[in-house]
Amino acid sequence: MRSLMILIAACLALGLAPQLAAAQTGSGSADAGSAAVGSAAPEALKIQPPEPTPAELRKICADAMNKSPGFADDIVKTINEDTARQHARAADAIAKNEKHVIMAYAAMWVIAAMFLIFLWRRQQALKGEIANLKRDLEAAAK
Amino acid sequence: MNKAIPVLASLSAIGFAVCIYLIFNYAPFEPALLFNQKIFYFHVAHAFMLFVSVAVCGVCSLIYLKKRTPKWDDLALATAEIAVMFGAVVLITGMIWAKAAWDIWWTWEKRLTMSLLLWLTLVGYVLVRRFAGASADRLAAGLAVFGTLGIPFIYTMVDRSDHHPQAGANGNVMTLDGPMKLVFWMSVLTFFLWFLTLVMMRVQSARAEREVRELREQGLDAGLFT
């Protein structure tokens, strides 16, 4: 289903829209179909036609591709190039993903530094408290 | 100050520098994870040290419950706080790696859930020591023994359906190639030295806290404090 949708999207992007319109209005050629829809259609014919089913769209697209080998090649080339570009971008992002590695290493060092500072401050506070208590006890003993 | 602390701290610092050099210049790219795999060397080494900390804490707590000797309690308290620190690093670096490799920050698979529960148990230990009053040492010791029981589950509880690789003989660590394995065990050794440094520092603090309590009691007896 996904590949079908990609194929249809590629067809539309490459200019199949006039041919599809022609097929829907029953006209033999794309130009004649466009003209009929654009200018002389009576009011009754302006009602939106029902959405074509995926099977119908597939048939239309396949017919168009069979009629014009160049058009089929364009679609395949476009899809291949797009896919290749997407794969290359994804591979590049994973291969050079420095962001998450830097985040992980930074998190480790930050937590370690915080723990060291916490230990050092507590040790200093305890040293001060011990000195005060000893001084008070010596003074009380005199 | 314990003379071993500066020596161990220096060795750890040298080890960190060497490990970072080896991780980024010597260890090859892992074919599937590529650069993200560089997190592995410190993430898994931290997990190993978490297990060591919790195991030492549990054993010391058990001995303390049996003998009531303060030195075992000091060691248990020291390793519990260090385990909280190592656990925080394991969870945070694990989440960052999960985002990079699996595109999710967290998943409730067994190993992650058990690791979080173990870490919360250790946080509970520290809170009990801080706020539970006179019997805090014994309550916390019981909690530490309970927490230690979680280690084998965390190590072995990985299904084939989980994101995490299997542990044991066919696990990720044992199947590393030569240079990766060397760098990994170098990291583990460095973090073990770092663990020893922190334990000695924290035990020193625990002894100082004990001394403060004893001096206060002497002061109360002498009528210094009301």
Q: Residue B70 and residue A103: Cα distance in Å, rounded?
A: 40
Q: List chain B residues with CB under 8 Å of A140.
A: 219, 222-224
Q: Pull the structure tokens for residue B98.
A: 């999960």
- For chain A, how are helix, strand and coil distributed in percent, rounded to 5? 85, 0, 15
Q: CA of A88, closest CA in chain B: separation in Å?
A: 14
**pLDDT given at position B224:** 73
A96 touches chain B (CB under 8 A): yes
DSSP H helices, chain B, are 4-25, 40-67, 70-102, 110-131, 136-148, 150-156, 178-221
| Residues forming beta bridges with residue B30, ordered by sequence position | B34
Residue of B nearest to A106 (CA): B93
Q: List chain B residues with CB under 8 Å of A99.
A: 100
User: Between B30 and B94, where is the model more confident?
Assistant: B94
- Lowest-confidence segment of A9-18, A97-106, B5-14 by average pLDDT: A9-18
Q: What is the pTM of this model?
A: 0.70
Mean pLDDT of chain B: 86
If you ran DSSP here, which 8-state letter would residue A132 be given?
A: H
| Window 162-221 of B, Cβ < 8 Å to A | 198, 201-202, 204-205, 208-209, 211-212, 215-216, 218-219
Q: CA of B180, closest CA in chain A: separation in Å?
A: 17
pLDDT tens digits, residue range A64-96?
A: 888 888 888 888 888 888 888 888 887 777 667
DSSP line for B131-161? HSGGGHHHHHHHHHHHHHTHHHHHHH---TT
**pLDDT given at position B180:** 87
Residue of A nearest to B84 (CA): A115
Work out the percent of chain B whose per-residue pLDDT is above 90.
Answer: 48
**pLDDT given at position A6:** 64
pLDDT(A36) > 60:
no
Q: List chain B residues with CB under 8 Å of A130.
A: 208, 211-212, 215
A1 touches chain B (CB under 8 A): no
* Helices and strands counted in chain B (H then E): 7, 0
Q: What angle do CA A30, A35, A37 make, to 5 degrees?
A: 95
Torsion angles phi and psi, residue B30, rounded to 5: -75, 130
pLDDT(A23) > 70:
no
A103 touches chain B (CB under 8 A): yes
Q: Residue A13 and residue A71: Cα distance in Å, rounded?
A: 12
pLDDT tier at B160, thresholds 50, 70, 90: low
Q: Residue B76 and residue B203: Cα distance in Å, rounded?
A: 9
Say which amino acid occupies B1. M
Mean pLDDT of chain A: 75
Q: Which residue has the tokens 């260890």?
A: B27
Q: Pull the structure tokens for residue A45.
A: 């014919």
pLDDT tens digits, residue range B62-118?
A: 999 999 888 999 999 999 999 999 999 999 999 998 888 888 898 888 888 888 999
Question: Residue B93: which of A107, A122, A123 has the nearest Cβ?
Answer: A107
A122 touches chain B (CB under 8 A): yes
- Which residues 6+ apart lie within 8 Å of A94 measured at CB? B33, B34, B35, B36
